Structure 1
């Protein structure tokens, strides 16, 4: 059954997380729609990574609800699911692209095995089919097929990040979380990776939530943007509108500081 594109894929209501007396994030609410890319931006310490970890079930919030529309069309609170259900969701219907690819890859097994593991999580068992799909996906992220048996530690940083993307997308997830996906890469490598991400997201009709401190990345890849400061959302709207006509003084400061560089 296909999900109704007129219904949100993810509904977030009043989500908050504290670390003792310090606010990680507070009272965050939004809907994410099928095929939409949302960028969460802000300075270091703004709460964007805490929010991403709460949304992706890596960190349990103290308040609020996060509801996901399953492939069957049912809206489920992810924190009311059994732990096994959440783990299965993360291995199949969701993806998570880490800033440091080593956190999202198994560095001591081959590139092909890294991609193939996700296929096995959804029930693939035929070695030839798994290897064939792995090689196909390596090609889609611009990694030569003759590198399929190489380990990620033999790859450059940009290649590792592209391999991590292939590992996440091979199961055709509907929602992908990305934490500073171009962070730590050279500018030329960043540009190539962003072009690849943008084309794959559009081709596959993915929804994505991308955390970044780089407004240029947000402009290139996202439809909508949330600006965070001190754990709270201070501005939220279409990406071009937020960047071209920022309303909140903090957003104006962020945008003007980029323009002055």
Structure 2
């Protein structure tokens, strides 16, 4: 297997008496989609925030392409997030500039990596609106005029336009209608495959994890209780908690 793009070992983080992360380790390889699943409060979103540099652990190590993420200056981490990383928030309003047009939201990300030619930026924004199934005629509309599903697709376009190597996704289909969720998952799967992205996705949706992920980590009370290839974990769960998660989905 290829050298991991990102590695983390021994991650510890406590909030008072609660262990949000308890000796967590994870590898993410180029082009791989890894899903983190678990109930609310399991530590999955905390892990995502630590790995993406938004939160510091009490102990442990995170490396990206051999570099110590936790030792990086804040400016270097911000530069990574603009270029080689991307973050798709559960609420698209957290990932969009609401006072900026749809095309401007995409164009800003391109300008952050050095694009300056207005015509080229607008052409690229047009192409990406098409890719995420938004009518390019809406380019000059602000995100507030879009539905929740359209806002999420616009956020994805904004993040992926610079073709990052690693994308963090926090419950990207949360809060959307079931039919909108299904379309969005199909779109994410197609874009990830087309661009060869590495993705770390947090979700409580076992069906979404099965559709998108090559590997899966199951978290409970700050610990990874089971991990492995997605089909293996979901079809033949070994840990009692994973068995409970899978059986609750089948019973639903």
TM-score bracket, shorter-length normalisation = over 0.9
What is the CA–CA distance in structure 2 between the aligned matches of 1:29 and 1:97, rounded to whole Å? 22
SS of residue paired to 1:79: coil
Match of 1:72 in 2: none
Shift of 1:125: 1.0
What is the CA–CA distance in structure 2 between the aligned matches of 1:225 and 1:28, rounded to whole Å? 14
Aligned alpha-carbon RMSD (Å): 0.8
**TM-score where L is the length of structure 1:** 0.95
What is the CA–CA distance in structure 2 between the aligned matches of 1:252 and 1:100, rounded to whole Å? 30
Matched, 1:169 2:160: yes
Provide Cα deviations, 1:192-234, integer angstroms capped at 9, x if missing partner.
0000000000000000000000100000000000000001000
What is the CA–CA distance in structure 1 between the aligned matches of 2:92 and 2:128, rounded to whole Å? 17
Post-superposition, which runs of at least 4 consecutive aligned residues in structure 1 deviate over 6 A? none
Match of 1:126 in 2: 117
SS of residue paired to 1:80: coil
Report matched runs for 1:79-118 at 5 Å.
Answer: 79-118=70-109
What is the CA–CA distance in structure 2 between the aligned matches of 1:133 and 1:49, rounded to whole Å? 32
Match of 1:54 in 2: 50
The structure 2 residue matched to 1:17, chosen from 13, 17, 25, is 13
Shift of 1:147: 0.5
Report matched runs for 1:70-219 at 5 Å.
Answer: 75-219=66-210
Structure 1 window deviating more from structure 2 (41-50 vs 26-35): it is 26-35
What is the CA–CA distance in structure 1 between the aligned matches of 2:36 and 2:25, rounded to whole Å? 13
Match of 1:222 in 2: 213
Provide Cα deviations, 1:118-169, integer angstroms capped at 9, x if missing partner.
1011011111111111111111100111000000000001000000000000
The structure 1 residue matched to 2:228, chosen from 225, 237, 246, is 237
Matched, 1:33 2:33: no
Q: Which ranges of structure 1 fall in alignment gaps of 5 or more residues? A: 70-74
Q: Which ranges of structure 2 fall in alignment gaps of 5 or more residues? A: none
Provide Cα deviations, 1:65-87, integer angstroms capped at 9, x if missing partner.
11001xxxxx1011111111100
SS of residue paired to 2:63: strand
What is the CA–CA distance in structure 2 between the aligned matches of 1:30 and 1:160, rounded to whole Å? 31
What is the CA–CA distance in structure 2 between the aligned matches of 1:141 and 1:128, rounded to whole Å? 20
**TM-score where L is the length of structure 2:** 0.99
What is the CA–CA distance in structure 1 between the aligned matches of 2:136 and 2:96, rounded to whole Å? 18
What is the CA–CA distance in structure 2 between the aligned matches of 1:117 and 1:16, rounded to whole Å? 35
How many residues are treated as equivalent by the alignment? 252
Shift of 1:34: 0.5
SS of residue paired to 2:189: helix
Shift of 1:22: 1.2
What is the CA–CA distance in structure 2 between the aligned matches of 1:223 and 1:163, rounded to whole Å? 25
What is the CA–CA distance in structure 1 between the aligned matches of 2:12 and 2:125, rounded to whole Å? 39
Shift of 1:24: 1.0
What is the CA–CA distance in structure 2 between the aligned matches of 1:46 and 1:31, rounded to whole Å? 19
